[in-house]
Structure 1
Amino acid sequence: MARSRSKVTMMDVAREAGVSQSTVSFVVNGSTSVRISDATRQRVLEVAEALGYRRFSHSALDHKGSRVIGFLVDEISTSPFAVASMDGAREVAWENDRVLLVSSSGSDPELERSAIETLLSCRPEGMVIASILTRRIEPPAALRDVPTVLLNCYESDNGFPSVVPGEVAGGHTATRRLIDAGHRRIAIIGGEPWMEAARDRLKGYRQALATADIAAAPELIREGNWLPSSGYEQTRALMALDEPPTGIFCCNDSMAIGCYEALKEQGLRVPEDVSVVGYDDQEVARHMYPPLTTVVLPHDEMGRWAVETLVTEVASGQKPPLRRVKMECPLVERCSVAAPRVSSSRRSGMH
């Protein structure tokens, strides 16, 4: 059960202990303001110790004085990924006896300027500028005077260190898993094409097929909108084809939920009749039946990298390389992929 200390988060402890992240927070910080049983407290503390979880050292801050890192994100409430990024950033800040000050702009340019001014007035050692969508941004000039890292976004001329998910490689990984299982008739249900993530995952899908000498059939490339309803609708359309797919790559786990439902309605089983791979590794993927094989979107690790880069820069007094890091999106193997049981031609009469 032990993990590398630098990778252990409060969420990891919560998952292993079978409690909420809020429970872990109250326990490890010694709060007595809520009623938590002694047995639960003991279990959380034992799991935290076994995993090597290190909580924030208040005494260190009291001795050294608060050192601040500013964190500005454009959206928080629209996606769980912003919280994952902040958790990773906060964990590293705490491990290095620093406080993370967080603000959200709500994608409002005026509010963004005001938030940056406020954060800079706290004299932070560095700033993290985060975006909920992977995209190009134009950071304000005021950030040129303080160490700054871009998280899930980047500048056109790479004027700041930045970290983004390796979406092309992630799309390739998801598709390659189906190919390695023996599938040749592989569909993709993508996201909205104006989003960089959707375009890159599709590019990875095409590259994986090309590498395996499999033609990308136009009828198997479907545009979704990230919601379960589009996964459902596009799966129904795919299974109505004269030669339906034996494997489906859904470009997020939410669309995979709809995909599962459409297959179930048609009396098809996952993975016996159709294999499915998702993307994002949201909590729901663990509880689908069967549990969904999916690709991790590494926002926690990206948040950690951003603060680690700032701390290293401050400690060394030297600017880090102005480069765009692409974080690996690894596959999480579960139970939704198997070898195709029958040929596509025999399956065509099943819809």
Structure 2
Amino acid sequence: MKMSDVAKLANVSAATVSRVLSQPEKVSKETREKVLDVINKVKYKPHIVARQFRTQETKIILVVVPDITSAFFSKVLRGIEHIALENGYQVILGDTENDIERENSYINLLLQKQVDGMVLLTARLDKNKLEELASEFPLVLACEYVDGLNVPTVSIDNVSSARKATEHLIQLGHSKIAHITGPINIILSRDRLKGYRQAMISNDLEVDPAYIQEGDLSFESSYNETLKLLSLSTPPTAIFVFNDEMAMGTIKAAKDSGLSVPNDLAVVGFDNIKMSTVFEPNITTIDQPKFAIGKKAMELLLHLIKGEPMKKKKFVMKDELIIRESTLIK
């Protein structure tokens, strides 16, 4: 079944069928319904490659994530796909596994015009390269970001939220507070460490270098770093951890060391993934509006694809401290 066959059955021109498929708002409701009725009856499928040649667009966007197994990114992806599908776009996914070379290879898809635009949920490439790419192609950053980069970006204020998490522990009476970071080459790790430091210093508390340990985003790394912290001559009574999965590793290490959470050790995570509500004890955490971040990122990408002007490029979404059992002594 060809487009010309659909046109003949609907008694319209092939150009009208094409407009119904690509620009339905430019076709009257009556004609649009008549054409769509024929399309549904004969189960017509447009030839994607042919459409790409005609319109110079693929109706496909690429989303690049640092770790597809992360529960956090799955929610962001749902937000992106929600808006994409509403606007006739398909989403393909690239998982870098935190490998910058893979990130480069996915960017080549955009350079070869195999996709109409890209949402990067990881931003570890050189700033100049990202700026050059964004000057030629539709590109949006979400979750991660680059200081001083003039590219549409959606994120939370990681410094402020980390400060909020640390101050919660201080308000509970803790003064010996440790922090397990993510990989320090990631801007999110550096900003959350900055927020932790700010909270400690503003409350006249010592920032002990021994209380700052670097993890690799995994349960296992946080488990091991927590054992190191607990083996210190003066161990911490509270730990702020880079993310919820790592916070689970911290809690497991505490339990295996014979400690009670939160009675002996209070723990705060980050991201508010679903597991943080079912893990024992439930984890106090910083909630990021994951679905909303994804939706906003895709909306911005659509503006770029359509060539629409943007008055604002930096969008900081609201986070929230969720207090649960891992910090509250019964």
TM-score by structure 1 length?
A: 0.66
Q: Select which of 202, 222, 235 maps to 1:244.
A: 235
Q: CA deviation at 1:224?
A: 2.1
Q: Answer whether contact 1:191 1:198 (CA < 8 A) is retained.
A: yes
SS of residue in 1 equivalent to 2:122: strand
Query: What is the letter of the counterpart of residue 206 of structure 2?
Result: A
Q: Select which of 78, 93, 98 maps to 1:87.
A: 78
Matches within 5 A, 1:286-325: 286-311=277-302, 318-321=308-311, 323-325=313-315
How far apart are the structure 2 equivalents of 1:75 and 1:223? 18
1:2-33 Cα distance to aligned partner (Å, 9 max, x none): xxxxxxxxxxxxxxxxxxxxxxxxxxxxxxxx
1:111-148 Cα distance to aligned partner (Å, 9 max, x none): 5323553444xxx5xx3331335666524857545654
How far apart are the structure 2 equivalents of 1:111 and 1:68? 17
1:298-340 Cα distance to aligned partner (Å, 9 max, x none): 443221111223456778x74113533333332222211136x
Q: Structure 1 residue 161 and structure 2 residue 152: aligned?
A: yes
Q: Select which of 232, 256, 269 maps to 2:247.
A: 256
Q: Select which of 176, 195, 199 maps to 1:204.
A: 195
How far apart are the structure 2 equivalents of 1:142 and 1:277? 38
Q: Structure 1 residue 231 and structure 2 residue 222: aligned?
A: yes
Q: Which position in structure 1 is the counterpart of 2:112?
A: 117
Matches within 5 A, 1:29-108: 68=59, 70-73=61-64, 75=66, 77-94=68-85, 96-104=86-94, 106=96, 107=102
Q: Answer whether contact 1:72 1:115 (CA < 8 A) is retained.
A: no
How far apart are the structure 2 equivalents of 1:285 and 1:222? 22
Q: Which protein is bigger by CA-based radius of gyration?
A: 2
Q: Which position in structure 1 is the counterpart of 2:25?
A: none
Mean Cα deviation higher: 106-115 or 84-93: 106-115
Q: CA deviation at 1:237?
A: 2.5
Mean Cα deviation higher: 254-263 or 152-161: 152-161
Mean Cα deviation higher: 264-273 or 111-120: 111-120
Q: Answer whether contact 1:250 1:277 (CA < 8 A) is retained.
A: yes
How far apart are the structure 2 equivalents of 1:290 and 1:77? 26
How far apart are the structure 2 equivalents of 1:153 and 1:97? 25
Q: Structure 1 residue 128 and structure 2 residue 123: aligned?
A: no
Q: Answer whether contact 1:161 1:321 (CA < 8 A) is retained.
A: no
Query: What is the letter of the counterpart of residue 275 of structure 2?
Result: V
Q: CA deviation at 1:290?
A: 1.0
SS of residue in 2 equivalent to 1:245: coil
Q: Which runs of 5+ in 1 are unaligned?
A: 1-58, 342-351
TM-score by structure 2 length?
A: 0.70
How far apart are the structure 2 equivalents of 1:128 and 1:108? 12
RMSD over aligned Cα atoms: 3.4
SS of residue in 2 equivalent to 1:150: strand
1:220-279 Cα distance to aligned partner (Å, 9 max, x none): 222222222232222223223333222111112222222112221232211122111011
Q: Which position in structure 2 is the counterpart of 1:215?
A: 206
Q: Answer whether contact 1:293 1:336 (CA < 8 A) is retained.
A: yes
How far apart are the structure 2 equivalents of 1:221 and 1:105? 29
Q: Select which of 326, 338, 342 maps to 2:328.
A: 338
Q: Answer whether contact 1:187 1:245 (CA < 8 A) is retained.
A: yes
How far apart are the structure 2 equivalents of 1:110 and 1:229? 29
Q: Select which of 266, 269, 276 maps to 1:285.
A: 276
- State, as a whole percentage, how many aligned pairs show the same letter: 29
Query: What is the letter of the counterpart of residue 232 of structure 2?
Result: L
Distance 1:111 1:162, change over 3 A: closer
| Count of matched residue positions in the alignment of Structure 1 and Structure 2 | 273
Q: CA deviation at 1:202?
A: 0.7
How far apart are the structure 2 equivalents of 1:140 and 1:287? 42
Distance 1:287 1:134, change over 3 A: farther
Q: Which runs of 5+ in 2 are unaligned?
A: 1-32, 38-45, 52-57, 97-101
Q: CA deviation at 1:213?
A: 1.9
Q: Answer whether contact 1:169 1:329 (CA < 8 A) is retained.
A: no
Q: CA deviation at 1:152?
A: 3.6
